[in-house]
Amino acid sequence: MSKAGMILEGGGTRGVFTAGVLDYFMEQGLYLPYVIGVSAGACNAVDYVSRQPGRTKMCTIDFLEAGSYVGLKSLIQTHSLFNMDLIFDVFPNRLIPFDYDTYFSSGATCILTATNCLTGRAAYLTEDSSRERLMAICRASSSLPVISQMVKVDGIPMLDGGLADSVPIRKALHDGVKKNVVILTRQEGYRKLPAKKTLRMARIMYSKYPNLIKAIKYRAYYYNKTMELLEDLESRGHVAVIRPQIPVIKNTEDRPEVLTEFYNHGYEYAKDIFEKTASYLRWDPKEAEKKNTSAS
C-alpha cells in the first residue's frame, strides 16, 4: 500500500458520523500512517491514532445522558458554547482517559489544523511528547469564532481550523500522500453560504486581528472551492470520499438519541463501503496484522 492518509472534516457534534466510520475501521484493523483532522475532526483523529474505538462516542454521546456539555448553560458558565475544560482536560485526564502513550508511540503522522489569528492562515500542528500541548492544540482546533475564546499555542492565539482550511486535501497532497480517504460531515453537493452574522460579530470582537476577519469573510468561498476539487478528484478515482447518506444533524445537536442515530449511520455505512475503501487503498488485512503484531 502506497502512502495513505485520512482527512477528517469538523462540524461540531456532526463529528459523531466520523466517529462511527472510524470505529468500524478500527475494529477491522484499518490504521493509516497519515491523519489530518480539523476541529471535531481533530478530536476524532487523536482517538483514531491512539487506537481507542468508542472513545469519541463516549465523550460526545454517552456523557450527554449524565449532563450536557453544549448549549447556553456552558456559554454562560465558560464563555464557550461547548465546555472546553470538560472536553480537553477533565475527559482525557480523568473521566474518559486518553491513551497518550499509544498516541505518542504510534509512529503515525497526525496533523491537527488550527487557524493562526495573527496571519489568518492554517496552522498544521503536531505533537509527539507533551500531553498539555497536544490537548491545547485540539482545543484550539475546535474553538469556534465568536462563541469560543482564543487558545494560545506556542504563544500564538488560535481558533477553529475550519476557518482557514476545513478539509486539508491540498496539505495532504503537498505532503506526498497519494491515497486519501476523506470523511466529510455534510452530504454530497453541499456548499457553504457566507456567515454574515458571524462576520459582523467578528468585525466587532476581532478588530485587532484583521487577517482573522479576512479568513472568516472568505471561508465559504475557499470551502466551496475545496468541495469542487474533491468532487473532481473523486470522479477520477484519485480520492475516496465518505459522507453522510441521510439528512445531517446540526453542529450543536445535544439529544443523545439523535446523535446515536447519526453515529450508527456512520458505523453501518462504513460496513457497506469497507471493501471498496480497502480496495482503493490496496490494503491487505494480513499485512496490517503482521505490522500490528510486530509493533506490539
In the predicted structure, residue 286 carries a pLDDT above the cut 60: yes
What is the per-residue pLDDT across 21-55, written as a single tens digit (0 to 9) for each?
999 999 999 999 999 999 999 999 999 999 999 99
d(CA 221, CA 122) in angstroms, rounded, equals: 15
Look at residue 68 in the predicted model and tell me its pLDDT.
58
d(CA 35, CA 121) in angstroms, rounded, equals: 20
| Identity of the residue numbered 111 | I
Model-level pTM? 0.93
Look at residue 75 in the predicted model and tell me its pLDDT.
43
The answer for residues whose C-beta is within 8 angstroms of residue 46's C-beta and 6 or more apart is 37, 98, 103, 110, 112, 134, 138
What is the per-residue pLDDT across 230-246, written as a single tens digit (0 to 9) for each?
999 999 999 999 999 99
Work out the pLDDT band at 289, boundaries 50, 70, 90: low
Look at residue 284 in the predicted model and tell me its pLDDT.
82
d(CA 225, CA 116) in angstroms, rounded, equals: 21
73 within 8 A of 86, measured Cβ to Cβ: no
- Could you tell me the end-to-end alpha-carbon distance of the chain, in angstroms, rounded to an integer? 21
- Extract the C-alpha cell encoding 139: 482545543
| 3-class state of residue 186 by DSSP | coil
- Look-up: residue for cell 481507542? 52
In the predicted structure, residue 146 carries a pLDDT above the cut 50: yes
Average of per-residue pLDDT across 209-217: 98
> Could you give the C-alpha distances from 263 to 108, 184, 249, in angstroms and in order?
25, 13, 11
In the predicted structure, residue 73 carries a pLDDT above the cut 80: no
Look at residue 138 in the predicted model and tell me its pLDDT.
97
Look at residue 65 in the predicted model and tell me its pLDDT.
56
Look at residue 214 in the predicted model and tell me its pLDDT.
98
Q: What is the CA radius of gyration of the chain?
A: 18
